[in-house]
């Protein structure tokens, strides 16, 4: 009882102190300079908007701020977080969106996470990453967004439990997780590398999915880009070691981001949206810069084509059962030798999904299926059926182990419980095999 009272008193004092700090503004650390208090002229906005379109594509604003089938930029896309559901907001220049926002207010929202009126944004909006954007790019984005068609669409209510629905508490979150300053160009690295870092970290905000998070959901920067689980799926390790392990080279990575397809397979799940709404619209120079940064290189040189991994040994009974499954259900589209069919289905030989540390992305694709996907230049991959009703956990584990070993060179360590964990995330529709 005594401990309980002390804890309660501690919490009350702590809470009051926190509230005091928040309301005194002591926790606010803005990176926005005073120069943006001067409004942009109509001519400036017109001149900056085309550059802003490129910034919006690289920063992937549309993917989150447009619900599938919804009005452009009008928000409404739901996000499952450990604290509840958050909806992306309307950012078209309407009354419900950013209509009437000043240049300075836009800068503050994007880089400090604070909307007009001092309203804190939830960090589902990646302002911790956008904080590193240059003043010029934010101006260009402001010019582009304020010249979109206003969409009079109201914002959806968030489903957050107390105390996460209390926006003022985010001042404390920001104090813990928002960097006080932003990365300056590293003079010891090349212009290519520095541009790559800027596009990757400030604009592309790749770390928001590929960097693991701590208990407060802040990014663990010491583990940057080493992979994380997001909405039940693994965003793989994209450090140089992780990318190499998946079979990527800098050149093939740039191709993958630009087209969604490479010898390593097709972009699927959330990464398809990233390619579809963002990276395929980026300049080739920026894709190459990102590839250089991801592989920590100052310059890109011609590379020999990646060598496919040697098959790993698999128990004969596992291989026999898996080969029967593969011949029955997979070979019709992916080929008897895992070679795939151009414009229909990806090759499985050397496919990155068979080489990631976790098999969850592969298992999810097989059990739940994938929708048909369109890629640049008329390229397309057909829908993958769901096989949840055809394959039980043991059969799926055998298939995964054999394919990962045969075409991914990975030791067969997948257990039936790994499959069961992925199956638990499927909807009843997938489980019924419809």
Q: Out of 135, 339, 379, 382, point to the residue binding another protein (CB under 8 A).
A: 382
Region near another protein per CB under 8 A, out of 10-18, 233-241, 336-344, 413-421: 336-344
CB of 148 to another protein, least distance (A): 34
SS3 234: strand
Residue 332: CB minimum distance to another protein, A: 3
- Contact (CB, 8 A) for 280 and 258: yes
Of 194, 201, 236, 233, nearest in space to 219 by CA: 201
Closest Cα partner for 262 from 353, 148, 161? 353
* Strand extents, DSSP E, 183-249: 228-230, 233-235
Our finding on whether 421 is near another protein (CB under 8 A) is: no
Q: Which of residues 266-325 bind another protein (CB under 8 A)?
A: 324
Residue number with CB closer to another protein (339 or 382): 382
Cβ 345 to another protein, closest distance in Å? Answer: 8
**Residues 185-204 contacting another protein, CB under 8 A:** none
Scanning residues 384 to 413, which ones bind another protein (CB under 8 A)? 385, 389
Residues in the chain: 434
- CB 13: neighbour CB atoms within 10 A? 10
Per-residue burial over 289-315, b = 16 or more CB atoms within 10 Å of its CB, e = otherwise: bbbbbbbebeebeeeeebeebeebebe
Q: Which range touches another protein (CB under 8 A), out of 31-39, 149-157, 294-302, 331-339?
A: 331-339
Minimum Å distance from CB 3 to another protein?
55
Find the part of the chain contacting another protein (CB under 8 A) among 59-67, 163-171, 383-391, 394-402: 383-391
Q: What are phi and psi of 219, to 5 degrees?
A: -70, 135
Asked if 383 interacts with another protein (CB under 8 A), we say yes
Contact status: 344 vs another protein (CB under 8 A): yes
**Near another protein by CB under 8 A: residue from 63, 333, 420, 426:** 333
Pick the binder of another protein from 9, 17, 327, 394 (CB under 8 A): 327
Q: Name which of 53 and 396 has its Cβ closer to another protein.
A: 396
Q: Which is nearer to another protein, 40 or 384 (CB)?
A: 384
Among 18, 329, 357, 420, contact with another protein (rule: CB under 8 A): 329
How far, CA to CA in Å, does 348 sit from each of 55, 176, 354, 407? 35, 43, 8, 7
Contact between 341 and another protein by CB under 8 A: the answer reads yes
| Burial of 281: CB neighbours in 10 Å, binned 0-12, 13-18, 19+ | middle
Helices (H) and strands (E) in the chain, counts: 19, 11
Name the residue among 330, 309, 316, 307 with its Cα closest to residue 402. 316
Q: Are 91 and 65 in contact (CB under 8 A)?
A: yes
Name the residues that contact another protein, by CB under 8 A. 324, 327-329, 331-333, 336, 341, 344-345, 382-383, 385, 389, 433-434
């Amino acid at each position: 009882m005594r401990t309980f009272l002390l804890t309660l008193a501690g919490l009350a004092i702590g809470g009051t102190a926190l509230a005091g700090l928040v309301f005194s503004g002591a926790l606010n650390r803005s990176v926005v300079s005073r120069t943006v208090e001067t409004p942009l002229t109509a001519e400036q906005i017109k001149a900056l908007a085309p550059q802003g379109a490129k910034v919006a594509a690289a920063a992937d604003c549309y993917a989150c701020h447009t619900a599938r089938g919804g009005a452009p930029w009008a928000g409404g896309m739901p996000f499952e977080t450990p604290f509840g559901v958050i909806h992306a907001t309307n950012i078209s220049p309407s009354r419900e969106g950013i209509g009437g926002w000043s240049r300075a207010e836009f800068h503050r929202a994007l880089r400090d996470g604070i909307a007009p009126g001092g309203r804190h944004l939830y960090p589902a909006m990646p302002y911790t990453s956008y904080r590193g954007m240059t003043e010029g790019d934010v101006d260009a984005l402001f010019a582009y967004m304020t010249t979109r068609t206003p969409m009079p669409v109201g914002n959806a209510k968030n489903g957050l439990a107390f105390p996460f629905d209390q926006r003022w508490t985010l001042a404390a979150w920001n104090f813990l997780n928002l960097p006080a300053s932003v990365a300056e160009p590293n003079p010891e690295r090349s212009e290519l590398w520095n541009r790559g870092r800027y596009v990757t970290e400030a604009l592309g905000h790749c770390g928001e999915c590929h960097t693991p998070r701590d208990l407060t959901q802040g990014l663990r920067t010491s583990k940057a880009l080493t992979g994380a689980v997001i909405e039940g799926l693994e965003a793989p390790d994209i450090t140089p070691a992780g990318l190499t392990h998946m079979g990527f080279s800098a050149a093939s990575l740039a191709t993958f981001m630009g087209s969604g397809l490479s010898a390593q397979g097709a972009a699927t799940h959330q990464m398809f949206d990233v390619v579809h709404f963002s990276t395929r619209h980026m300049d080739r120079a920026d894709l190459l810069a990102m590839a250089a940064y991801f592989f920590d290189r100052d310059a890109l040189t011609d590379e020999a084509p990646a060598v496919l991994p040697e098959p790993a040994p698999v128990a004969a009974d596992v291989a026999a059962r898996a080969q029967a499954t593969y011949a029955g259900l997979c070979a019709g589209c992916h080929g008897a030798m895992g070679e795939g069919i151009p414009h229909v289905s990806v090759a499985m030989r050397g496919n990155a999904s068979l080489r990631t540390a976790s098999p969850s992305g592969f298992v999810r694709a097989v059990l739940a299926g994938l929708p048909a996907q369109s890629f640049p230049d008329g390229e397309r991959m057909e829908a993958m059926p769901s096989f949840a009703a055809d394959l039980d956990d043991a059969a799926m584990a055998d298939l995964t182990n054999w394919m990962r070993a045969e075409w991914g060179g990975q030791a067969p360590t997948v257990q039936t419980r790994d499959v069961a964990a992925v199956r638990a995330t499927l909807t009843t529709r997938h489980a019924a095999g419809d």
